[in-house]
Amino acid sequence: GSTTARVLLFGGDRSEWGIGGGIVLLPGQEGEGLSLSLQPSFGQSGANKLQLFQEGGGFSYDPTQELAVGTTPLTARFHAEVAYGFRNGTALLTPYTRLDTTDYSTTYGAGIRYQLDNSLDLDLSASRWNSSSGNNDNRLFLQLRSDL
């Protein structure tokens, strides 16, 4: 388990803070097997809608929601991911599914990660984002990283 706390120290008239925790079940030494991540968080965001925590790490604010003058609402977030790694020689194939919920939206999706010999990482994922404002979105992401 882990705990993370963040605060915006120098932001002019902005005030932001967040605290999050996490329980993570890691796969085997080579990345094989089951992994599970559960990460709730809670915090306060200023009117600039800055994210102190990145995806999978905690606190966020929905930019589609309007703020009343002089208020900074509290919001909560929950991130969960389940994955299973399969090794084939020097390659690791990891299908996964994830869920992210906030006070204002829910995102759920699935994907597959491919890692080759610690030199190439590929992540292909599809997700559905549902907002309380009715602004819904389907997303398809492809991330590629290579060591030169």
Contacts of 10 (CB under 8 A, 6+ apart): none
Q: In the chain, how many domains are there?
A: 1
Q: Containing domain of residue 95, as a range?
A: 2-146
pLDDT, tens only, 15-37: 677 888 889 888 888 889 999 99
pLDDT, tens only, 54-111: 444 444 444 444 443 345 678 888 999 999 999 988 999 999 999 999 888 899 999 9
| Token digits of residue 142 | 């492809």
Q: What CATH number is associated with residue 111?
A: 2.40.160
Query: Residues 140, 55, 74, 136: what is their CA dihedral angle, to the nearest 10 degrees?
Result: 0
The answer to pTM > 0.85 is no
